[in-house]
Amino acid sequence: MAGPRSAAEYWSSPEVVDAFVERNRAPLPYEESLLTTAAQRAARDGALRRVHVLGVGGGRELPAVRAAAPDAELHAWDISEAMVDRCRRFVARSDLGAVHVRCGDLTDLPADVPPADLVVGVNAVCSYLTSATARARAAASMARLLRPGGAVAVVVQQRRGRPDWALWFAIRSFATRLRLAPGEPGDRINGHGDDRLLVHHYTARELRRMFHRAGFEEIELQSLRSWGRSRGRPVPTGSPNPLLLTAERGAGPAR
């Protein structure tokens, strides 16, 4: 079996795109709730006029983004042309209002992209950034894509989200420290069929620090399980139990 591919290569594989879009068709209740919370935070300064949706894939989350920001212009981005094509087709057959879908790497979007009130990156988009440098660039890029006071809504894979993964990552972390395993403690190879890629699983501390360093404030972070508990919607032990984050861009210049 071939080694892991880059995120751009992996997410351009026709088999991966078909399987992903087939399996992921609608926003999930916790995503709707996270987007509503983030939109309310951003709307303290007035109605939302623009939203950037990063790593949009086939566009599954766009109806929830539209519900949270009814009057905003939506700008959707993905690193994979194949996903951009799927998303454009999804937008064409949905009643979503103004949505512009373009190809772009979320760590390196064009400098003239206008800032938004809300930036969205759900379903582990930031987990496909497999170096600390890329993750820092992603958080800085999200800050640059926001006006001061704008909000971000992010969902990432969690390292200690379920007991078997927590144990696996603890052993891996020990092995990487002894240089017996390559990469970083949070890295895990995953994929579809023979297509493999590296997925970074965050600790809550790591994710909070990444956004804090990029100039975000009022960072609110919880796991899916704690969100479920607070809503009377128990989350099964086998769930990946991702981390859910909302935060606001501080008033200072983007770093």
Ligand X SMILES: C[S@@+](CC[C@H](N)C(=O)[O-])C[C@H]1O[C@@H](n2cnc3c(N)ncnc32)[C@H](O)[C@@H]1O
Binding site for ligand X (CB under 6 A): 7, 11, 24, 54-57, 60-61, 77-80, 83, 105-107, 122-125, 128
Q: How far is the CB of 246 from ligand X (least distance, A)?
A: 16
Residue 22 or 164 with smaller CB distance to ligand X = 22
Cβ proximity to ligand X, 214 vs 250, nearer residue: 214
Give least dist CB 89 to ligand X, A.
14
CB 212 within 8 A of CB 152: no
Taking alpha carbons only, the member of 215, 76, 25, 80 closest to residue 139 is 215
Q: Smallest distance, Å, CB 153 to ligand X?
A: 11
Q: Between 57 and 185, name the residue whose CB sits nearer to ligand X.
A: 57
Question: Least distance in Å: CB of 66 to ligand X?
Answer: 14
Q: List Cβ neighbours of 164 (8 Å cut-off, separation of 6 or more).
A: none
For residue 117, how many C-alpha atoms fall within 13 Å in the half-sphere facing its CB? 22
Closest residue to ligand X: CB criterion: 57
Interior CA angle at 225 toward 191 and 48, to 5°? 85
Strands 116-121 and 146-156: parallel
Name which of 80 and 223 has its Cβ closer to ligand X.
80
